[in-house]
Structure 1
Amino acid sequence: MADTPPRTGAPATHDTNLVIIGGGPAGCAAARMAASVGMRSVLIEPDTLCRNLYRIPAVNNVLGGYTSGSELADSIATELKGTELCRLELGRHVTALHADGDRVTVTLDTGTRLTAPYAVVATGVGPLQPCDAGWITAPGDLTMPQLWQAEADDVQGRSVLVLGGDRPIGTFLRGHPATATRLHVAYPEADAYKIEETRDDPRVTLLPVEHLTLTHGEGTAVLAEAVGRDGKRHTVAADIAYLSLGNVPTAPPGDLVRGPDGYCPPTGQHRRVIVAGDLRSARFQRIMPALGSGSEAALHAYYAAKDLLARG
């Protein structure tokens, strides 16, 4: 059988060839790849396309010469919005995902149901808060801004306590190379492998801790009592605090298999559900792997659909 698209219209029993949940780099790449092989898709995203990319001031690990996340996001969004075989459902949430023998049914917050032979789930991750980290003691209702949300003016000339050693610290420093600030990065042993790229930046003071208790005091915006890995206690004072704790998976409710860490590994899922992007694992949260996995997911659905047609 020739290597040609199965068909550009959805089968009579389905609304489309492929439903894509999530409009980040992985979901957008899946939609673009699907269109390139003649598959119609519906992409569902509760926000704007590639919304998290707009929060990255500098990128240095993608092809194409892009220097900022917003530049890359604009390019991806423009291309996808011009892709005729992809229908965008922006501002919509998925409330249920159901996979059975021959289809996937996705229910939107409007009550609309969409069916397709396959679904790509690329909903990614969302930020953790202090109450989610076992090594931090803080008021249960405390929420704090993420470091990637900080602008240069927010931290210029200020002392900043950063809770967690996740990689957005390096992204922030690269994006604001001339900003005069002091980042006091308190991080647990589990984050030790993440802080190598920031270790030599003179603006960073690394604080490896076993535990940290966050309080507020007079004369300073933030006070924290840290217990070092040597058991010694010391006080950390800063003008402001931000989070860089990492993320938690944001999978839609329904027929998805989750690992002990909450992520949804591609293996073990229903054969009609393909997981792509950051939702797969904490170890692959990069732009390039997301783009590649989204493209691969669409091709997986394409070839699987071809096999079904060939057998039919």
Structure 2
Amino acid sequence: ADGQRLPLVITPDGTPLIEPDAPELASHVGLATTPEAEFYDLVVIGGGPAGLGAAVYGASEGLRTVLVERSATGGQAGQSSRIENYLGFPDGVSGGQLTDRARRQAAKFGAEILTAREVTGLEVNGAARVVRFSDGSAVAAHSVILATGVSYRQLLAPGCDALTGCGVYYGSALTEAASCQGQDVYIVGGANSAGQAAMYLARGAKSVTLLVRGESLAASMSHYLVQQIEEAPNISVRARTVVEAAHGEGHLEQLTLRDVDSGASELVDAQWMFVFIGAAPLTDWLDGTVLRDGRGFILAGPDLTTDGRPPAQWELDRPPYHLETSIPGVFVAGDARAESAKRVASAVGEGAMAVMLVHRYLEQS
């Protein structure tokens, strides 16, 4: 190979893959990409904590279950450096460890897990719910759980696009932590994911600075994390501060920071910046299918009813169940749901609750 087409992957049997797409790579490392059947009791879309929770409970309770994930299981939680407030892990657990255990648990109970498959459509065909893939194929089921999660919002400051992957990263990017040893790190955001990354990176970085648009961390971060950050000697917090520009030749070298209140700008040395500025739901493919709010989050249960009445297209005599969308038999769990808690534990709980409601739906169908 000429080295111009990358990545180059060598499989264990010596087969070279030049610039493989996700399905090709998945098939060579032993991941399933094709469903074994045409019809299931339950299709779970999304492999984050909510989707994995639904797959575990669905398969363990006798439903023929298939989980479809467009990249790799874990979602945003899978990238978290350390989760310390998840029930049953008093010493904390990395997001990767937690979600890998959940994936193996779902597989143990018999759930099929398909990776590198992008879902592009959802249709109603009588009692069946049809899930369509980007390659034109489809799979059908009695019920569907939407656990598509969210994606990180991009920082729009000049210079950030060109330096993404070269000092500017979205999410915790744990693989970069070793490169931050002894250097100045900036983290943009004030929620739990930003706090967890700050604590992790502070172990080796010279300094870690949290840039927060709001007045303080208290409004958006768990109390235990706020306390840990306050006690960490090499972590500082700059409230009411935003990134105005990123600078560097081939790698991040400096940031221009602006004080929101005074408007004053300051140029600081920075080799690494990790961005956690909220997330947008991955629901555009559902436009015109299920009802969503103005930001794209999926409405469900009581949020669908106005003046105590279900939505106009609702055809059943009963009101929607708690996590049920505007399509009977289609449920939502986790961060994609409007007004969700945006926490791993609540996402897992909603996945389990959605399965309970699927059972109720199937009994009455």
Task: Mark yes or no: TM-score above 0.5.
Answer: yes
Which structure has more relative contact order (CA 8 Å, sep 6+)? It is 1
Asked if residue 34 in structure 1 is aligned to residue 58 in structure 2, the reply is: yes
Provide the alpha-carbon RMSD of the alignment: 2.7
Q: Residue 296 and residue 252 in structure 1: after superposition, are their counterparts in 2 closer, same or farther (change >3 A)?
A: farther
What's 1:5 paired with?
none
Aligned: 1:179 with 2:236:
no
Measured in 1, the distance between the counterparts of 2:172 and 2:332 equals: 26
Q: CA deviation at 1:185?
A: 2.1
Out of 138, 147, 161, the residue aligned to residue 158 of structure 2 is 138
For the residue of structure 1 that corresponds to 2:253, the secondary structure is strand
Match of 1:245 in 2: 277
Give the C-alpha shift of residue 291 in structure 1. 0.7
Aligned ranges for residues 67-146 of structure 1 at < 5 Å? Answer: 67-84=93-110, 86-99=111-124, 102-131=127-156, 137-139=157-159, 141-142=161-162, 143=164, 144-146=168-170
Q: Is the 8 A contact 1:99 1:272 kept in 2?
A: no
Paired residues of 1:147 and 1:162 also in contact (CA < 8 A)? no
Q: Normalising to structure 1: TM-score of the pair? A: 0.82
SS for the counterpart of 1:162 is: strand
Matched with 1:278 is 335
Q: Is the 8 A contact 1:212 1:227 kept in 2?
A: no
| Residue 77 of structure 1, CA deviation | 1.4
Paired residues for 1:54-69 under 5 Å: 54-65=78-89, 67-69=93-95
Show structure 2 runs of 5+ residues with no match: 1-37, 305-324
Contact 2:207 / 2:234 at 8 angstroms: preserved in 1? yes
Displacement of 1:24 in angstroms is 1.5
Q: Secondary structure at the match of 2:285?
A: coil
Q: 1:256 aligns with which of 290, 295, 299?
A: 290
TM-score for both structures, normalised by structure 2: 0.71
**Residue of structure 2 equivalent to 1:227:** 259
User: Which residue of structure 2 lines up, in the alignment, with residue 50 of structure 1?
Assistant: 74
Tell me if structure 2 keeps the 8 A contact 1:103–1:272.
no
| Structure 1 gap ranges (5+) | 1-13, 132-136
Relative to structure 1, the CA distance from residue 178 to residue 39 in structure 2 (aligned partners, 3 Å threshold; closer, same or farther) is same
**How far did residue 261 of structure 1 move?**
2.1
Q: Distance in 2 between matches of 1:190 and 1:286?
A: 22
Tell me how many residue pairs correspond in the alignment.
289
- Residue 321 of structure 2 is aligned to residue 296 of structure 1: no
Deviation at 1:83, TM superposition (A): 2.0
In structure 1, give the amino acid aligned to 2:354. Answer: A
Aligned-pair identity in percent equals 25
Check 1:215–1:173 CA distance in 2 against 1; reply closer, same or farther (3 A cut): closer
AA aligned opposite 1:243? V
